[in-house]
Structure 1
């Protein structure tokens, strides 16, 4: 459903609303709940008036629309849980648009500081999205430039486990150096890393670190 909504926003919404806050406004305006007679919902109508070949309609009809009854309700609740952070007015405001392009970090010398509260992980998901998108954009930029970034990039990921869980972080570490990306993964302890990922992935992450520096650690 989220894929269908993003495609709808991309092709049908005003440029100012092509973001997750805009998608939430769209969902609030067009109720996905069906009527008592099991007729089309307001959300259905918005998608079904599109051309049958429209990417948003195809994603909607071949995904969410195939679910029936309680399954649709579960999908809606799962979606709202996934994007719940964007209900917050402050988050909605600062995520509506970006004042720089992520690829610029690989095109010219830029220092980007991402500061998060030490004792508050409320926005861990947003920080994780930022870095995940940045990793992907840098890889895409390198792919367009003979597999090398125009300007090398170094990440210093202090308190790494507070950045959320990256699904393929070990693969990223294994390949990033060839693209001109250096990463310092900074953790308090190996146990901390194992708790966030698992023993096997933590071992793989450590194995893909070319240099390891240990400072006053109580567990190794």
Structure 2
């Protein structure tokens, strides 16, 4: 089953001579348990694709379906509920709330969805522990390094029963060791937990973890290909031994 489907999605900004076409009739699917990497030069439309897939922005034309349901013209409340319960989003600038601790930032989506702070703290701490940040749970964002803030943002995107993860350069602030650890975690969530992940990246090595790589240029899909054998092959073998 396709968890995410974009059908002939276009997005334009401005009018007349100032009109800019960020996406031009882009079609893309990502199935349950699949990781898809999106690559392309700066300005190719990668981030716009993610914001539209995550219901943060509406397409100018075309349709977005999540778990088979059209969402482009859904109400604001419906979209907000999807982002709390179904969609996890990792932003390039992290978007952590400075007045909340790491644990509070991670558990916030659950609290917004009606879970008590005490109950939400348990999966929040579990998410931090999976990313090696349990001892930083009580620290505020300005007390964390860039790499730590990035991992907190990833933990927040994965908390609860999220089924679709959209990540914009998730390894951008991470060293190679932590980047590998994050990709292992995402792959595990896909292959074992059934989550779907769409990951925007400039890093070909990171893209090699994905099942499929989609290439964008000037707002259009120019190619789609199965990722070359990479670290994920060894990981999959290890999971089944």
TM-score, L = length of structure 2: 0.25
TM-score, L = length of structure 1: 0.26
Which has the larger strand fraction?
2
Ranked by relative contact order (alpha carbons within 8 Å, sequence separation 6 or more), the top structure is 2
Which has the larger helix fraction?
1
